[in-house]
Amino acid sequence: MALYSTVSNSPKLLRIAIVGVGLVGGEFINQLLRFPAPSPFRIVSLTSTKTTLFSPDGLHITTSGWKSDLTQSGLKPDLTVLTRELSSLVKPGQDVVLVDNTSSNVVAALYPRFLRAGIHVITPNKKAFSSELSLYESILSASLESGARFLSEATVGAGLPIVSTLKDLVATGDKVTKIEGVFSGTMSYIFNEFSTGKEGGPSFSSVVRIAREKGYTEPHPADDLNGADVARKLTILSRYIPSLRSALQDGYQSVHTKSLVPAELEGAETGDEFIRRLPEFDAQFDKLRADASEENMVLRFAGVIDVKSGLIKADLEKYPVTHPFATALGGSDNIVMFHTERYGARPLVVQGAGAGAAVTAMGVMSDLLKLV
């Protein structure tokens, strides 16, 4: 109750424009509309790939009706027009926030323009913060120039406080020496099922197939198994560490990344084709598991940022069966360990659900609350 009363009594008004109304976007809209009254938040715009709604005084929408309102809108989306409309609403005590719930490169590339216009940016979209360094530097300079903030908690670990924990460690003068973790909910599920430290187990292809059926993978599982998602998250985190901020000129493509996609399947055009042919390579994965089991180890696809050496990698690693990556994970959990000077003897650990629309939207919502 203390949080709500503090928020409710705030004189600040935040006008919010939401781009992207899919699973995460839809959940975020509903969380926002259910926020206890009186709410400091006013939704002024909704934008999908096909239509948009805009009202500078706030949209009159409900959790049950906003989808049909948006579908029936005759307005086509135009981000240039939206930028201009939103910038005209920026006034003292009346902040404007763009919430980008897409995974679009096009929207991400516009963050400097929004920020320069004084519009805060909140997003779970990893593209802007894990791409080439020049875009990231443009975002930083635009934010400094106008004072508008960019917040991206949900880009790593959905609703888990991973980005904010790292920012707090750095801001308070702690020295981060190493970050390691299981950053992909998809990879977490696959290897929790496939490699338990015991002899034998289900085939790799069957675990991937079931993960896809459960909705844990992308429609094309190669988009998860290539390690790019983990590499993007490592890029985002590394850029908050002063000595590594400029280390990855080409973003996630500069990360040492181990792809688990067999070379022969890199050209598979569809997810169905990929799943059909993956059993051809089960023997290779069986051997990796057997070798790990003989050493009393498990396999986990982990991300590592070693600050001293500058090594940033996403790779299939072996961990003892007693290690937290072997014992503490379940389902599609994420787990991240921060090794720092303050947390030298025992690392600071953040763990929990690292995927899903509800927890991702919660991460976006938590960023929004930081602006109140």
Q: In the 8-state DSSP scheme, what is residue 65?
A: T
Confirm or deny that 144 is annotated as ligand binding. no
Cα(157)–Cα(336) distance, integer angstroms? 9
- Gap between the terminal Cα atoms of the chain: 16
**Two tokens, residue 80:** 């240039």
Cα(305)–Cα(324) distance, integer angstroms? 18
Nearest 10 degrees: Cα torsion 260, 265, 269, 271 = -50
Cα(124)–Cα(106) distance, integer angstroms? 15
CB 96 within 8 A of CB 119: yes
Confirm or deny that 349 is annotated as ligand binding. no
Confirm or deny that 22 is annotated as ligand binding. yes
DSSP 179-231: EEEE--HHHHHHHHHH--SSS--S-HHHHHHHHHHTT-S-SSTHHHHTSHHHH
Cα(70)–Cα(61) distance, integer angstroms? 10
Confirm or deny that 172 is annotated as ligand binding. no
Confirm or deny that 12 is annotated as ligand binding. no
Q: Tokens 């919502």: give the residue.
A: 365
**Two tokens, residue 168:** 């707090």
Confirm or deny that 198 is annotated as ligand binding. no
Confirm or deny that 218 is annotated as ligand binding. yes
Q: For residue 76, indicate whether it is catalytic.
A: no
Catalytic option among 12, 167, 214, 233: 233
Confirm or deny that 368 is annotated as ligand binding. no
Confirm or deny that 208 is annotated as ligand binding. no
- Please report, for residues 56, 59, 83, 97, 119, the alpha-carbon distance to residue 89 in angstroms, rounded to integers and kept in the order given: 7, 14, 10, 10, 9
Catalogue the active-site residues: 233
Q: Which residues are annotated as a binding site?
A: 20-25, 102, 126, 218
Instruction: Please give the annotated binding residues for NADPH, written as ranges.
Output: 102, 126
